[in-house]
Structure 1
Amino acid sequence: MNNTHRQIAVIGGGLSGICSAYFLAAKGYEVAVIERRAHAAEEATFGNSGLLAPGAAMPLTLPGAFATFAGRFQEEPRVLLASGADFKRNRWMRQTRQAQQQRFAANKLRLTRLSAYGQELTRQLQEHYAMEHENSSGVFHLFRTPLEAARMASLQEGAQQCEVKHKTLDTAEIRLLEPAFSSEAALAGALYYPDDIAGNCVLFAKQMRNAAQELGVSFHFSSTVKSIQPEFGGRVALELESPHLDSRLTTDGVVLAAGMQTAELLRPLDTPLPMRALQSYSALVPVKNPDDAPNMALFDDSYKVAMTRLGNRIRITGLLGFMPPSQAIPPKALRNLLKIAGDYYPNAANYNQAHFWSSTIPILPNGMPLFGPTRHGNVFVNVGHGVTGWAAAVGSARVLADMVAGEKSAVDTEGFLPQDLAA
């Protein structure tokens, strides 16, 4: 994008959109964020696990779903599936399995580098703005089956190449670091990342909104973008429904960080994105026995579930479902989240007092974030970070701002660009 064009609209007021707006404003752009909800960070960001963890960062492919299809784990499915035939879903899941089999190691390495960059940026921002946080250090990455544990070698290789500290542990060694960990939990393997962090992603996103406003970013809530129309002369027109904006807004460029709405807005521009909407389920439970509660976070690779300690609460996040959005959480999701938490910390919390919610997240077949310019040079995307993508979202927002400004970025963008989807 030409550096003389200075006005940018960012669609989406979650973590990706807020951070994109912040880094663009820091480079001197005039930025407006347009969000359909009444407040910031109310959709996918609200369902973030809280892991700020380059070591545990994983392409979000769903091999466990195929075991569910095959009849295993029916009572405790790895991925919840809506009943009935869905041929588009099945074809999409074959693509994600292919990505996991063929490109997992390379994508893991790319994602770790991006996440390490994002983690360092987050630390700098928290320090610079004296942000409140609920950070804890140390993340356990746990594998329940030998098949899943077989990937540990490639994970360790990626961590070593990215200079991420890590160590393999058995259950006894985990208990030395985390005495509350249950010895009843059967594991096929475990990795420990001492420098990985967990915290409150929503709190960070809201404080980043304040930081962006200090740089001049304007936020427009309860406002929906109906369409994007590239115009002659390199401008972009947005058709809006908003209580406080005109129905048509013309700008020099636009960043789409709007979850599944990103794909809907790009479809008329002949720029399809092969994203699927997944439901992510979360629970927040009060700590009952502090001595039996974790001090460090964990990520259960089998169920794609993270547990993070936030003061006197424990957050359990990440069980995924190809299910329609609903106010009613599927009973299996409720049972599974608490069952997984109880496997590791049975006496930590009042699990019968859990507060549940679900969030819709977009995911690509390769399980990777997607950011950069589309075939329309002044229309950019920044989506697909997933429930464990806090660090990657911050990193990609900074790299995207570099791209918009025509500057060299600190991270190699191969594998993250829209043009790479066909590769």
Structure 2
Amino acid sequence: MKVVVLGAGVVGTAAAYYLASDGHEVTVVDRHSRAGRGTSQSNAGLVSPGDATAWASPAAFRTFLQALWNHDLGIKVRLRFDPYFLAWSLRFVRQCTVARLRANSKVKLRLALYSRHCINALSVDTGIHYDERKKGILYFFRSQKSLDTGTDNYRYLAEHGLPIEIIDRDRLIELEPGLAAAKEKIAGGVYSPIDQTGDSSHFVEKLAVYAAENLGVRFLYGTTVEGLDIEGDRVRAVVTSSGPVAAGAVVIAMGPESGLLGRRYGVDLPVYPVKGYTATVPLEDENEGPTMGGVDEDQRIAYSRLGNRLRLASTAEFTGFDRTFQPRDFAAMFKTGKELFPGAFDEKKAELWAGLRPMMPSSVPVIGQARYKNLYLDTGHGHVGWTMACGSGKFLADLVAGRKTEIDPQGLVYRN
């Protein structure tokens, strides 16, 4: 079957790989000049089942309200007239209960654990490497109070299959000597040994090349999706800036733009863009800096070691589709980075970036058939698209093939 995948980010490219591996004739359409130039270009670098806790929670609701006037928080809300954001916010608020937090986190964890298995199997099968490190990830807290309250969500994930170790500062420094200079600033944390790190941009670029050369996937770069040609209950073709592309099936994997396209055709897809910022900086000495990924939970700063580079990431900013940034947007990130790893990097050498995460109110991505018999979704992965991409792609390929999925589909399969 001819399958057209809309979007060549890590989610769309992974879906194309698995669909082509099933024998489908796959075409990928993307407006950028090569794969992984949108949301997948830069992120925290964490492949992190340990970060499977849903965003929507009673605590997040309070922070969300505070962010309306306090712009010094990790979450920033820029008030503006945006009916779509208002509708999204109301749905988000409905997810901010303990019951929904638990249910959504359980679904995210199931997919994240599966996806970690898929990416590692894919790496073995294709020989693709992407500055990966499989040493685990540390989630740490600066005060005993935040440690005591912050570990509750991790304990819940542990009850549902995530191996973790609750650690004090001595054990933390034993695991990550790179944090020795900041030891007195840290109370303790959570160590997730199966988590890992890697460069999503390197991964998706190499996977696109592999899929094209070995599986016959056709990539139409520099091509804008203008709409869908629909007849009855099926999509006949994708209308693009380069002309129509005939399709036996279409997969929407356009990241934050997915909702814009979907709602034009009656698909209830509440994906909203949430801006995040990253800085990638060379290490002055490769013996300095972290040896694994980590998250400073109190400062809401994540980091990873990518070869001889340090990646810093922070902020969830609700500002529509604005991708612009100013040097001041990275000030808190660099301040924290210098506290944790003094002397490890020179911020003047940093490559700065801002991109949009495709966020669902529930934090759970949507995968599967939507409204039309041959229209599929693989989108809404939020801040863990890199973590969930391969599992989502394999899950989608099973749905398209009519096979039983390898994991429980409950809570994942799209319902319009």
When normalised by structure 2's length, the TM-score is 0.90
Alpha carbons of structure 1 residues 88 and 229: separation in structure 2 relative to 1, 3 Å: closer
Alpha-carbon distance between aligned partners in 2 of 1:266 and 1:353, rounded to the nearest angstrom? 40
CA–CA separation in structure 2 for the residues paired with 1:73 and 1:191 = 31
Q: Post-superposition shift, 1:345?
A: 2.0
The residue identity in structure 2 corresponding to 1:225 is V
Q: CA deviation at 1:392?
A: 1.0
Q: Secondary structure at the match of 1:195?
A: coil
Is the CA contact 2:271–2:358 (under 8 Å) kept in the aligned structure 1?
Answer: yes
Equivalences for residues 4-403 of structure 1 within 5 A: 6-61=1-56, 63=59, 66-67=62-63, 69-70=65-66, 74=70, 76-84=72-80, 89=85, 92-101=88-97, 102-136=99-133, 137-144=135-142, 146=145, 150-162=149-161, 164-181=162-179, 182-187=182-187, 190-213=189-212, 214-232=214-232, 234-242=234-242, 247-302=243-298, 304-326=300-322, 328-403=324-399
Give 4+ residue runs of structure 1 displaced > 6 Å after superposition.
none
Q: Structure 1 residues 337 and 39 mapped into 2: Cα distance closer, same or farther (>3 Å)?
A: same
- Distance (whole Å) between structure 2 residues aligned to residue 156 and residue 85 of structure 1: 39
Counterpart of 2:100, as a letter, is R
Decide whether the 8 Å contact of 2:252 with 2:377 is kept in 1. Answer: yes
C-alpha distance after superposition, 1:19-39 (max 9, x if no partner): 111111111111110111111
In 2, Cα distance between the equivalents of 1:335 and 1:118? Answer: 33
Distance 1:254 1:333, change over 3 A: same
Q: CA 1:379–1:401 in 2, change beyond 3 Å: closer, same or farther?
A: same
| TM-aligned CA deviation for residue 88 of structure 1 | 5.4
Separation in structure 2 between the aligned mates of residue 334 and residue 12 of structure 1, nearest angstrom: 28
Q: CA 1:93–1:72 in structure 2 vs 1: closer, same or farther (change >3 Å)?
A: closer
Tell me: CA distance 1:149–1:8, structure 2 relative to 1, closer, same or farther (3 Å). farther
Task: Map Cα deviations across residues 174-193 of structure 1 (whole Å, 9 max, x no partner).
Answer: 11111221124344x51101
Write the letter of the residue equivalent to 1:307: Y
Contiguous gaps of at least 5 residues in structure 1: 1-5
Q: Which amino acid aligns with 2:47?
A: L
Shift of 1:382: 0.6
CA distance, structure 1, for counterparts of residue 67 and residue 319 of structure 2: 18
Report the Cα distance in structure 2 between the residues aligned to 1:110 and 1:16, rounded to whole angstroms: 18
Q: Distance in 1 between matches of 2:369 and 2:299?
A: 33
Please say if 1:418 is aligned against 2:414: yes
* Cα gap change, 1:226 to 1:73, in 2 (>3 Å): closer
Deviates more, 1:153-162 or 1:78-87: 78-87
- C-alpha offsets along residues 179-214 of structure 1, whole Å, 9 cap, x if unaligned? 221124344x51101121101111111121122111
CA contact (8 A) 2:11 2:385 kept: no
Whether the 8 Å contact between 1:141 and 1:301 is mirrored in structure 2 is yes
1:261 positional shift: 2.4
Taking the aligned partners of 2:258 and 2:85, their CA distance within structure 1 comes to 19
Q: Percent identity?
A: 26
Which of 353-362 and 328-337 deviates more?
328-337
Range with greater deviation from structure 2 (196-205 or 320-329): 320-329
1:265, CA displacement in angstroms? 1.7
Q: Following the alignment from structure 2 to structure 1, what is the Cα–Cα distance between the partners of residues 399 and 265?
A: 21
In 2, Cα distance between equivalents of 1:55 and 1:201: 18
Contact persistence 1:64–1:302 (CA under 8 A): no
Aligned with residue 405 of structure 2, among 403, 406, 409: 409
Structure 2: how far apart are the matches of 1:324 and 1:207? 31
CA deviation digits over 1:97-139, x for unaligned, max 9?
A: 4424331222222212211111111111112222233112110
Change (3 A) 1:409 1:318: farther
Which has the higher mean CA deviation after the structures are superposed, 297-306 or 393-402? 297-306
Tell me by how many angstroms 1:264 deviates. Answer: 1.8
User: What does the per-residue CA deviation read over 1:218-256, in whole Å, with 9 as the maximum and x for residues that have no partner?
Assistant: 1111111211132248452221112xxxx2222111000
Instruction: In structure 2, list runs of 5 or more residues that go unmatched.
Output: none
